[in-house]
Amino acid sequence: MTYMLVKKEEEIVREWEKYKGFTIRPEKSTIDYYQKWIRCYRHCQEFLLYGGTPEIRNIFQEEKLSLTMVDQLEVMVRAMGRLTSGGMPINAYEKFELLDWLELFKLNKKFSLLIGDDAINMLPEKKFTSFLKIASELLAPDGIFICHLLVRPSDDLILKSFSDILYDYKQGKISHFDLASQLNFICYDKNTKQMGWQQTIHILGKRLNQFLPHFNFKNLFGQCNSTFTCLSQNLFEGFVNQFFTIKEIFYPHEHQYCLFEPVYILSKK
């Protein structure tokens, strides 16, 4: 698995800085929501983060809480650490475990709080069951799994024409944040249920130049290799209900694309 097409920490940092406001990074309302739940569980001892999302790590650093981070790419986690307020690749409150997310049983411990920011989207649909089963086994009886994800966009956005997107953008009807997402939406693969930056660049090619000079999609996302598996919400909840009870669903509200970025609060069945 590679999230980026650049290899060095400083290169990843430089690219990731570009993505503020876009779907690949959590918005302020999502961060505030994370903070609320983390503070509710701050009396607990064990916290696990899938990946190294800097906005989430900032909350743990501010609360002076220990955090276990798990990923199979240490360079990515270290680069994200350099984007935290502390600026350290891995700080004194953090512990990094080099593991595939489907091998977390090797940690051999229970966690009161699991947080996955777009983590499950990085897997193909056939692995969703295993991911959620392992997450439920990691969770302490009274713990919660905060699962933020991208779900399948609505049909009207998948079927929207490129010319209509171009017109709406030039008329000021959509922001460049929603523009980026809508371009991904029309390149959604209904067979794999996936979309992603490289897929969009490949499919739309030179047509993306029509947004220049105001919006350079290729320059912005050309080094990002993330691919998102986006199931319908009903289908995703079908997977979830095998192992969890849905306590609450929150929707960030900064942009139109946030309608397809719910945050689930899940408790163990």
* Residues with Cβ within 8 Å of residue 173, at least 6 apart in sequence: none
Assigned domain for 4 exists: no
Are 54 and 181 in the same domain? no
What are the pLDDT digits (tens) for 233-267? 999 999 999 999 999 999 999 999 999 999 999 99
Are 220 and 123 in the same domain? no
Are 126 and 253 in the same domain? yes
Q: What is the pTM of this model?
A: 0.96
Tally of domains in the chain: 2
What domain range includes position 165?
Answer: 155-227
Q: 2 or 10, which is more confident?
A: 10
Assigned domain for 102 exists: yes
Q: What is the CATH number of the domain that holds 119?
A: 3.40.50.150
pLDDT-derived band at 45, boundaries 50, 70, 90: confident
Task: Please state whether 21 falls in left (phi above 0), alpha (psi between -120 and 50) or beta.
Answer: left
Using the predicted structure, report yes or no on whether residue 1 has a pLDDT greater than 70: no
The per-residue pLDDT for 5 is 95
- Determine contact, residues 115/56, Cβ cutoff 8 Å: yes
Give the chain's length. 269
What are the pLDDT digits (tens) for 55-98? 999 999 999 999 999 999 999 999 999 999 999 999 999 999 99
Using the predicted structure, report yes or no on whether residue 2 has a pLDDT greater than 80: no
Are 145 and 52 in the same domain? yes
Are 25 and 140 in the same domain? yes
Helix H or strand E encompassing 148? strand 139-148
Using the predicted structure, report yes or no on whether residue 38 has a pLDDT greater than 90: yes
The per-residue pLDDT for 180 is 98
What are the pLDDT digits (tens) for 121-131? 999 999 999 99
Assigned domain for 133 exists: yes
The amino acid at 32: D
Are 29 and 142 in the same domain? yes
* Average confidence (pLDDT) over 25-52: 96
What are the pLDDT digits (tens) for 156-209? 999 999 999 999 999 999 999 999 999 999 999 999 999 999 999 999 999 999
Using the predicted structure, report yes or no on whether residue 16 has a pLDDT greater than 80: yes
Are 107 and 239 in the same domain? yes
Count of Cβ atoms closer than 10 Å to residue 68 Cβ: 17
Are 160 and 137 in the same domain? no
Assigned domain for 1 exists: no
* Average confidence (pLDDT) over 113-134: 98
Are 127 and 171 in the same domain? no
Are 33 and 116 in the same domain? yes
* Average confidence (pLDDT) over 15-31: 95
CA 217 to centroid of chain Cα atoms: 19
Are 112 and 245 in the same domain? yes
Question: Which residues, listed in sequence order, are joined to residue 227 by a DSSP beta bridge?
Answer: 196
Q: What is the mean pLDDT of the chain?
A: 97
Are 88 and 32 in the same domain? yes
